Structure 1
Amino acid sequence: MLKSKSFGSKLADVVIWSIILLLTAACLFPLINMVAISFSNKSAAAGNLVGLLPVDFNLASYKTLLQEGQFWRSFGISVLRVVLGTALNLILVVLMAYPLSKSKREFRLRNVYMNLMIFAMLFSGGMIPIFITVKNLHLLDSIWSLILPGAVPIFNVILLMNFFKSVPKSLEEAAELEGCSKWQILFKIYVPISLPALATISLFSIVGHWNDFFSGLLYINKAVNYPLQTYIQQLTVDITKVTNPAQLQSLADISNKTLNSAKIVVSTIPLLIIYPFLQKYFVTGMVMGSVKE
């Protein structure tokens, strides 16, 4: 028979849930306010009159963004960067984490590689040497200049390496007895078991590639090749350069504040779509179905 909770236990539940709700509200309210500003009139936004609901609802900021042909080109470049960059990150991280998860007896140079990786993570060569390297490789103004400089995220390698260490050794020993090679052990045992860790790393890579705007400013000289975040970071309201009366009327309804809010909303939507597909792996067991030690 289940016992009813004591008064102290119920009070603790109320306090905990109240704190959780307050923290949730503190995170959500600024986001909701930003969405409301993006749909509001520029005068209301400038006067800080917008709360959780739009004032003088209009879509002028979104029309300015979506009617630009460069917006869609930059959007495609960012999607391509996310796909290629995330795939390359996962391949290189898996191939580095697996041997580094072995003991020094199995991989003699393990400590040497680990020390080099830790040193590289703590001490960067700097922006100028990296730029010179990219330039000398003739990668400027190409999609690879946005991907290759960060192809091996060392933090992700360490995360996956520690995850690989938690895989029961008996699984690998059983596979070796069956005649499996190291490649088969990696891709048929370690990778399927490590889906939660790979999903987390994938999300880190996707968010990192999608939100990065500085690489576009640094390595892309032609605005036509800008990724989305670099494009919208450069986009501002400048009525003095507009000669078309229809476009002038459209820009008259927006300001940099409403446009910047629309930028953030639009750039966040793809991540909100991707996250639910990866979320289920975060709660999956570490080694479901594996042999217990």
Structure 2
Amino acid sequence: MPTTTRSAGGIAFQIANHAFLAIAAALCLFPVLHIVAVSFSGAGPAAANAVVLWPVEFTVSSYASLFSRAPFLDAFGVSAVRVAIGVALNTALTLLMGYPLSKTRREFPGRNLYMWLLVFVMLFNAGLVPNYLLIKSLGLIDSMWALVLPSAVPIFNVILVMNFMKMLPREIEEAAFMDGASYWVCWRTLILPLSKPVIATIVLFSFVMHWNAWYDGLIYMNDNGKYPLQTYLYTVIQDRDVATIEQANDSATVNGVTLKAAQIFLAMIPILFLYPFLQKYFTKGIVLGAVKG
């Protein structure tokens, strides 16, 4: 068998490349570990900035205090409902729109017009004031629909799905058409099972988008009790939740610093839990979906 030998330059590049990636990973991981360490530390060391990557005076008092607070639990529940509705709506509409757009102009005569409209709305936005007036005129202020309807059709996800479906073998559909199947039957029984990588990709994108969104909650929700989790965390970090911070500062083991760290870490958990299950599909879905067929 032929053997390959690496040059000194190639070996040096590999070492430098691995070192760079290791440093980049450490820089990304450091803030997370610091937040976790602070959340499990006592009030004194956290207030004195004595915590780096390991808890000092280990305690779970911050989490016990946090789960006894109704505002945090209410906000967590609002975000959970938003993610459930938003991801389902995003995924369904994206798949329904991406399939016909993957067809040729002969199969779908209005395809080019729809593509032009999609690109236009992706590049140009009416702005905050018109969007707010539209949501208000529809009576959606303080409603869950104000958080999920404006982003119901993510155009980038539609383009990913469209390009992925373009690359699927045409012979599969042609064989189904010869057996009398309709486009609906082909989409449901053939295309969707073959599109698992891109479906996992858009589910992950939609989940992250809805879970991390905070600004729309601040704009469209007048009732603080209807804030999603990230909007609530924003108010806490900005020290607007004065009663919570003052109550925490009265405790010997919990203060505002440890409480904020615990809330931030709990907000990370759903994404950290979801990503490993979708990661095996993620690279294939985004690469194939981004390549024009």
TM-score range, shorter chain: 0.7 to 0.9
For residue 150 of structure 1, give the secondary structure of its aligned residue in structure 2. Answer: coil
Paired residue total: 283
- The amino acid across from 1:171 in the alignment is I
Cα distance in 1, alignment partners of residues 147 and 241 from structure 2: 32
TM score, norm. by length of structure 1: 0.86
Cα gap change, 1:17 to 1:252, in 2 (>3 Å): closer
TM-superposed deviation, 1:48 = 3.6
Q: After superposition, what is the alpha-carbon deviation per residue over 1:76-120, rounded to whole angstroms, capped at 9, x for unaligned?
A: 221111111111101111111111111122211111111111110
TM score, norm. by length of structure 2: 0.86
Q: In structure 2, what is the equivalent of residue 260 of structure 1?
A: 260
Q: Is the 1:60–1:250 contact (alpha carbons within 8 Å) kept by the matching residues of 2? A: no
- The amino acid across from 2:59 in the alignment is N
TM-superposed deviation, 1:125 = 0.9
Q: In structure 2, what is the equivalent of residue 186 of structure 1?
A: 187
Alignment of 1:53-68 (within 5 A): 53-68=54-69
Cα distance in 1, alignment partners of residues 266 and 70 from structure 2: 15
Q: In structure 2, what is the equivalent of residue 216 of structure 1?
A: 217
TM-superposed deviation, 1:270 = 1.1
1:51 lines up with 2:49 in the alignment: no
- The amino acid across from 1:114 in the alignment is M
Q: In structure 1, what is the equivalent of residue 139 of structure 2?
A: 138
For residue 71 of structure 2, give the secondary structure of its aligned residue in structure 1. Answer: helix
Alignment of 1:34-49 (within 5 A): 34-49=35-50
Cα distance in 2, alignment partners of residues 147 and 88 from structure 1: 8
Cα gap change, 1:204 to 1:247, in 2 (>3 Å): closer
Q: In structure 2, what is the equivalent of residue 80 of structure 1?
A: 81
Q: Which runs of 5+ in 1 are unaligned?
A: 287-293
Q: In structure 2, what is the equivalent of residue 272 of structure 1?
A: 272
> Does 60-69 or 153-162 show the bigger shift?
60-69
Q: After superposition, what is the alpha-carbon deviation per residue over 1:243-267, rounded to whole angstroms, capped at 9, x for unaligned?
A: x9x8663277413x43332222110
TM-superposed deviation, 1:129 = 1.2
What is the percentage of aligned positions where both structures have the same residue? 44
Cα distance in 1, alignment partners of residues 248 and 264 from structure 2: 23
Q: In structure 2, what is the equivalent of residue 290 of structure 1?
A: none
- The amino acid across from 1:196 in the alignment is P
TM-superposed deviation, 1:16 = 3.2
- The amino acid across from 2:259 in the alignment is L
TM-superposed deviation, 1:42 = 4.5
Q: In structure 1, what is the equivalent of residue 70 of structure 2?
A: 69
Cα gap change, 1:111 to 1:241, in 2 (>3 Å): closer
Q: Is the 2:42–2:253 contact (alpha carbons within 8 Å) kept by the matching residues of 1? A: no
Cα distance in 2, alignment partners of residues 2 and 64 from structure 1: 65
Q: In structure 1, what is the equivalent of residue 160 of structure 2?
A: 159
Q: In structure 2, what is the equivalent of residue 291 of structure 1?
A: none
> Does 5-14 or 30-39 show the bigger shift?
5-14
Q: Is the 2:43–2:252 contact (alpha carbons within 8 Å) kept by the matching residues of 1? A: no
Q: Is the 2:103–2:166 contact (alpha carbons within 8 Å) kept by the matching residues of 1? A: yes
> Does 59-68 or 230-239 show the bigger shift?
230-239
Cα distance in 2, alignment partners of residues 238 and 59 from structure 1: 24
Q: Which runs of 5+ in 2 are unaligned?
A: 287-293
- The amino acid across from 2:84 in the alignment is V
Q: After superposition, what is the alpha-carbon deviation per residue over 1:221-263, rounded to whole angstroms, capped at 9, x for unaligned?
A: 1112121212222236689758x9x8663277413x4333222
Cα distance in 2, alignment partners of residues 42 and 19 from structure 1: 36
For residue 250 of structure 2, give the secondary structure of its aligned residue in structure 1. Answer: helix
> Does 52-61 or 69-78 show the bigger shift?
52-61
Cα distance in 1, alignment partners of residues 284 and 153 from structure 2: 26
Alignment of 1:192-211 (within 5 A): 192-211=193-212
TM-superposed deviation, 1:35 = 1.5
Cα gap change, 1:154 to 1:125, in 2 (>3 Å): same
Cα distance in 1, alignment partners of residues 4 and 185 from structure 2: 53
For residue 211 of structure 2, give the secondary structure of its aligned residue in structure 1. Answer: helix
Alignment of 1:165-180 (within 5 A): 165-180=166-181
CA RMSD, 1 decimal: 2.7
- The amino acid across from 1:172 in the alignment is E
Alignment of 1:118-133 (within 5 A): 118-133=119-134
For residue 210 of structure 1, give the secondary structure of its aligned residue in structure 2. Answer: helix
Cα distance in 1, alignment partners of residues 202 and 250 from structure 2: 46
